[in-house]
Structures are given as C-alpha cells and as structure tokens.
Structure 1
Amino acid sequence: MELTLTTPALLFPAISLLMLAYTSRFLVLAQLVRELHSKYSSELENADQAIVAQICNLRKRLHIIKYMQIFGALSFFFCVVCMFLVFMENIVFADYVFGLSLVLLLLSLALLVAELQISVKALDIQLSDVESGQSCK
C-alpha cells in the first residue's frame, strides 16, 4: 500500500466527530455527577445506597471516557505527524506512525464499547426498580 497525504487525512473527520461525541458524553456525565452529589449532600444522613452506587458507576465511566479522549487525541496527533512525515518523504516512519494512530483509534473505540456496556448496566439497574411490580411487553 502506498501512503499519501490523503490517507491519514481521511481520518480527520472521523476522529473529530468521535472527539465531539466523547466530549458530549463527558459533559452529560459531569452534569449527572453534580446532580447526584448535591442530592447525596442534602440527604447525607439518609444517603440512599442507590445514589452511592450510581456515583461509583459514574466515576468508573468518567475514567473510561478520559482514556477514550486521550487515545482519540493521540490518534489525531499521530495522523498529523504521519502527514508531516509523508510531506518530508520519510515514508517508512510515516507507515509506522499511521499504524500507531490506527491502533490508538481502535483502543479508543474499544473503550467506547466498554463504557456503553457499563452505561447500559446502570440503566438496567435503574429500570429494575420501576419494573419490580410490572411486566414489560
């Protein structure tokens, strides 16, 4: 495969959209943490175990999203480095750097899947309280 300037440039829109989605997820979680923290603080003596469990779950998700963003940003960084290396006609190193950017992007996406699974489990637990006396059709 011949690596040209356009090959790593094809990842720019994809990585940019992923970073936007990751940031959006982070902002939503940050708002949830603030809400749960204020609820926990106001009910400190009667702290509901579900609130504590939700806070722990959100902490885990925040850490995963942090690494998703780090790997996504590093993938973007190495795409730019790859383009620079292609521009400087250092194709051997450009190939390795492009491969590294793809691996980092894969790690970021794998973390996204893990975070989604944790998120769905949390929602299932929340919904189980509602469904305790009801059956879903």
Structure 2
Amino acid sequence: MEELTLTTPALLFSAISLIMLAYTNRFIAYAAIIRNLHDKYLQQKDERLIKQIKNLKQRLYLTQAMQITGISSLLLCVLTMFLIYVKQPIVAIWVFGAALILLIISLALLIKEIKISVKALEHHISDIENS
C-alpha cells in the first residue's frame, strides 16, 4: 500500500473550491429567479408559475445537498491532512476515502440537477417548437 502524503488531499482543495463556486453561483441564480417568479405570481396567479417555482425549489434543494456534500468532502480532506500530521496514517486513509465518496455524491447530485434543469428548459421551449 502506498503512503498517503499531505499533498494528496491538498490536491482536491482547488477542485473542490471551483466546484463550490459553481454551486454557489447556481444557488444565487435560482434564488433570484424564484424571487422574480414569486413577485410575478403575486401580480398574476398563473398555474405555470407555480410549476416553475416547484421545479426551481427542487433544484435549489439539490444544489444545497451538493454544497453540503462538497463542503463535507473538503472538511474531511482537511481532517485527513491533520491525521497525517499527527501520524495516524490508517485513519487518514479511511477519512480520505470518505471525502472522495462525498465528492462523488456531490457530483452525482449535480448530474441529477442538470437533468432536471434540461427537462425544465425543454418544457419551457416546447410551445415554441410546436408552433
């Protein structure tokens, strides 16, 4: 078995940081769209707006789960580095493995969220295509 060094978990820092930036941008965009749709709904009670808001709410919660698992992965990477520092290599390997699993879950949630986004956009433009 190869030895886990401090640089191995540190390599994920930049990747996770970029992923978290993308997740945060999605979250902010969804929040702005939901606020806008909410205001439109208060002016005009349109059932289509409710469907859009429900879809965005689902995507917002997925993005939240993506953020939580991504941040948890980063925290476990830091914990891995600490465990290596205090000479606990076996525990560090297991913690780093858990960090990788959380990152995989976060990315899998991203795939699910993208699929929902594409379906919503397809539905949104379907009336134009049918013309």
Point out 4+ residue stretches in structure 1 off by more than 2 angstroms.
Answer: none
Establish whether residue 76 from structure 1 lines up as the match of residue 74 from structure 2.
yes
CA distance in 2 between counterparts of 1:105 and 1:23 reads 16
Paired position in structure 2 for 1:111: 109
Alignment of 1:54-73 (within 5 A): 54-73=52-71
Unaligned runs of 5+ in 2: none
More deviation, 90-99/123-132: 123-132
Query: Across the two proteins, how many residue pairs are aligned to each other?
Result: 130
Partners of 1:35 and 1:129 lie apart in 2 by: 22
Shift of 1:129: 1.4
Does 1:98 pair with 2:99? no
**Aligned counterpart, 1:7:** 8
The DSSP-based 3-state class of the residue aligned with 1:10 is: helix
Calculate the TM-score normalised by the size of structure 1. 0.93
Show structure 1 runs of 5+ residues with no match. Answer: none
Question: Is the partner of 1:99 in helix, strand or coil?
Answer: helix
1:23 aligned residue: 24
The percent identity for this pair of structures is: 52
Mapped to 2, the partners of 1:15 and 1:123 lie a distance apart of: 28
